[in-house]
Structure 1
Amino acid sequence: MKAIRIAALLALTAAAPALAENPMVGGAPMFEDKNIVENAVNSADHTTLVAAVQAAGLAETLSGPGPFTVFAPTNEAFAKLPAGTVETLLKPENKDQLVKILTCHVVAANAMAADIGKMIADDGGMHTIKTVGGCEFTAMEKDGKIMIKDGQGNVATVTIADVKQSNGVIHVIDTVLLPAM
């Protein structure tokens, strides 16, 4: 009887779809069957980003079907901005500017790191990324890491790549990307 239960359990396990293990982000597991917002709210490293997404009214959009590639700045990335910047952006009267900055972190595609790396290689070492917010950034690769140069010359490095979501992928970055002035 015990052997039959074990055999049944093994058969069920073998029939279950195999999901690759997503990396932990901000001390929390990231589940491939949850959307970008559902996962981001659990990351201790992305509380500022989550607050900004909510203040901008983008949570519903980023919970939608996508696909989206989100370059997700950490709390430390936001802390690099000049003092008071985040607080100012979170004010209701600055919502349009906040929406612009946040949507410049989103691409309407499901672009894994290998895909981005191939685009960089195919374009001779640099690839232009067009974002949902209308920004154009430059992706490049250095020492095996994907880097993105924003409209003001700041360079963000992807520190955790390929965090699969039900509606796209997150790449954690160490610098907030800003549109050209």
Structure 2
Amino acid sequence: MKKSVLILAVSASAILFSTSSDAQVIDSSKKAIATRQVPVTKQDSSRSTATTSVQTQTPAAQAATEGKVAGGVLMVPGKSIIDNTSKAAELTSLVSAIKATGLTDTLAASGNFTVFAPTNDAFKKLPQGSIDTTTAAGKDKLENVVKYHVIPGKFTKKDIALAIAKGKGKAELTTVEGDVITASVNENHNLELTDSNGNKALVTTFDAEQSNGVVHVINNVLLPK
């Protein structure tokens, strides 16, 4: 029993350390150091040499202050979720859905939200006519779909990994819509999200910091009950 719990914890913690593709994760033994000391030699006016050091940041550390490319745009931490996503060429379908359902002000407001943002290609995978915004019922359905991708509070990649480890392989995230999304790590060590209908999506970009939360880009649209 102890061995199986340890394996689950290791699998979940794997999503903390990504390669160049955020969807693929690696073993914790390859964890990058946030800063490192680099020796630099310089000469003073008397031609004597001295050794000092400077700090260099990894891409992950730089992203926290400079922003991160997500959805085809550099998302800046000082701007809101709606400000950043509105400029993302790969997230125009999501932004249109947000505007159509009147959720723009919510995602521009202060406070913390976690948004799992489906790409335009993800929306194209939906069956033709599955969401008909020309009817009141269709608009209500679209609103529920958008809210289903929003989690109250800020959940970074690290937070989700810890929740999965604590849940012994699964973590249930309650959405603004009221239903839950289940997070887990699949056999390829990718973070996988499962909706209430059994549909799955992978997180392709983690931790695009926002002034009012965080955005993770996903490759499928999740649907509530």
Range of TM-score over shorter length: 0.7 to 0.9
Q: Could you tell me which residue of structure 1 aligns to residue 101 of structure 2?
A: 56
What value does the CA root-mean-square deviation take over the aligned residues?
Answer: 1.4
Give CA-to-partner distance per residue, 1:124-181, whole Å, 9 cap, x none: 001111111011121001334211100110011000000000000000000111012x
Q: Secondary structure at the match of 2:184?
A: strand
1:28 corresponds to 2:73: yes
Q: Which has the higher helix share?
A: 1
CA distance in 2, matches of 1:167, 1:39: 11
Q: Please name the residue that 2:134 is paired with.
A: 91
Equivalent AA in structure 1 for residue 157 of structure 2: A
Per-residue CA deviation, residues 32-54 of structure 1 (Å, 9 max, x unaligned), is: 00000000011111010000000
- Deviation (angstroms), 1:22: 2.8
Please tell me whether the aligned partners of residues 68 and 167 of structure 1 are also in contact (alpha carbons under 8 angstroms): yes
**Aligned amino acid, residue 214 of structure 2:** V
Q: Is the 8 A contact 1:72 1:105 kept in 2?
A: yes
The number of residues matched between the two structures is 161
Relative to structure 2, which stretch is displaced further, 45-54 or 138-147?
138-147
Question: Per the alignment, in what secondary structure is the counterpart of residue 57 of structure 1?
Answer: coil
Query: Residue 76 of structure 1 aligns to a residue in which SS?
Result: helix
Q: What is the CA deviation profile of residues 13-43 of structure 1, one whole-angstrom value per residue up to 9, with x for unaligned ones?
A: xxxxx74343212332111000000000111
Report the structure number with the largest CA radius of gyration.
2
Structure 1 spans left out of the alignment, 5+ residues = 1-17
Mapping for residues 2-13 of structure 1, pairs under 5 Å: none
Give the conservation status (yes or no) of the 8 Å contact 1:139–1:149: yes
Q: Take 2:128 and 2:202, find their aligned partners in 1: how far apart are those partners?
A: 22
C-alpha contact 1:113 1:146 (8 A) present in aligned 2: no
**Partner secondary structure for residue 29 of structure 1:** strand
Q: C-alpha separation between the residues in 2 aligned to 1:26 and 1:71?
A: 11
Q: Output the CA distance in 1 between the equivalents of 2:85 and 2:181.
A: 23
**1:175 matched to 2:220:** yes
1:8 corresponds to: none
TM-score by length of 1: 0.84
Q: Map of 1:113-124 to 2, 5 A cutoff? A: 113-124=157-168
TM-score, normalised via structure 2 length? 0.68
What is the CA–CA distance in structure 2 between the aligned matches of 1:30 and 1:125, rounded to whole Å?
A: 31
Letter in 2 for 1:91: T
Unpaired runs of at least 5, structure 2: 1-61
Aligned mates of 1:129, 1:27 — CA distance in 2:
26
Residue equivalent to 2:204: 159
The one-letter amino acid of 2:141's match is: Q
User: Which 4+ residue blocks in structure 1 deviate beyond 2 angstroms?
Assistant: 18-23, 142-145
> What is residue 10 of structure 1 aligned with on the other side?
none
Q: Distance in 2 between matches of 1:27 and 1:98?
A: 24
Task: Verify the 8 A CA contact 2:71 2:217 in the aligned structure 1.
Answer: no
2:202–2:220 CA contact under 8 A, matched in 1: yes
Distance 2:182 2:139 in 1: 26
Counterpart of 1:47 in structure 2 is: 92
